Amino acid sequence: MIKLFELIAIPFGYVMKFAYSLTHNYLLAILLFTVIMEIILSPLAIKQQKNQIKQARLAPKVAAIRKKYAGRTDQVTQQKMQQETMEMYQQENFNPMGGCLPLLIQLPIISALYFVVQQPLRYLCNIPVSEIEALANYLNQGLEKPIYNTGAGQLQIINVIKDHISDYFTIAPSLKTADIPNLTVFGLDFSQVPSLTFKPFDWLMLIPIVTFFVMVFSTKIMQKFSYRDPMTIEQQNNPSMKIMTWSMPLLSVWFEFNFAAAIGIYWIFQNILSTIQTLILGKVYSNEKVLARAMVTETIARRSKEANDK
């Protein structure tokens, strides 16, 4: 599976390289890179929004079926209710799992984007893996515990070699033509791992904290502008589901205190842009507007049929 993500990451690496060539600022490059990728993935987001709108339009019919079997919780009745609901969906040419497909497609893509940000030597500088391994092995010499690797350790490798890059040409000849990014912006080295340090104050530790609040806010916005089945809303109000809602942002905080700050920056940008995209799609493809148009259409069709019957 990792090999698949790495394969998908190769073309995205060229996008990141293009972004850095325009900005020559690592933070701006990550921002531009994230904007471009959100635009590329926008058709999937639009498809998902349209699927939610159709689900909202069919909600009254689903509610009528549930009302028909209300108060009967035996397994046979529940199966009959589900079967009748699926038959209605088939008549309406609606696939309730259609909204999941864009999410499933996005999973390997998002994972590949993570590889691009995490491994700039490979995907931004196009350094062969064998040369990156040679650099990591060389820098790990004499260390009790190896800290440089071909994964997230590439950010730390860049931090070590950037000031004396010519000293490493014999180990990695591709460095001669590579455009090594400067990972220090506004005096902050984004190749470093944030730490809870107050003396001196580590400004990088604000990145995981900001990510937490951005993710929580993004989740709330997406829930507000996305159609959710009433039963789903009821399930999400359970204490166990509320814990799940908070667990992902908290997990991201722990994750970012163990990896380079650049990863956290990418997550912040990605969540902010996803929220903006959700707001735009919520206005353009509004559930309320679509439902109103559907009701008008159904009313006209019903009146037309009544007139013909007369």
pTM: 0.74
**Would you give the DSSP letter of residue 205?**
G
Position 210 scores a pLDDT of: 93
Give pLDDT, residue 175.
92
Query: Tell me, what's the pLDDT at 168?
Result: 93
* Dihedral-angle region of residue 93 (phi above 0 means left; psi in -120 to 50 means alpha; beta otherwise): left
According to DSSP H, which parts of 24-165 are helical?
26-57, 59-68, 75-91, 100-118, 120-123, 129-140, 153-161
Listing DSSP states for 151-204 in one string gives STHHHHHHHHHGGGGGGGTTT-GGGGT------EETTEETTSPP---BTTB-GG
pLDDT given for residue 233 in this prediction: 53
Q: Which residues of the chain have pLDDT under 50?
A: 295
Count the residues in the chain: 310
Strand partners, 184: 189
CA–CA distance, 187 with 208 (Å, rounded to integer):
18
Tell me what pLDDT residue 97 has.
Answer: 72
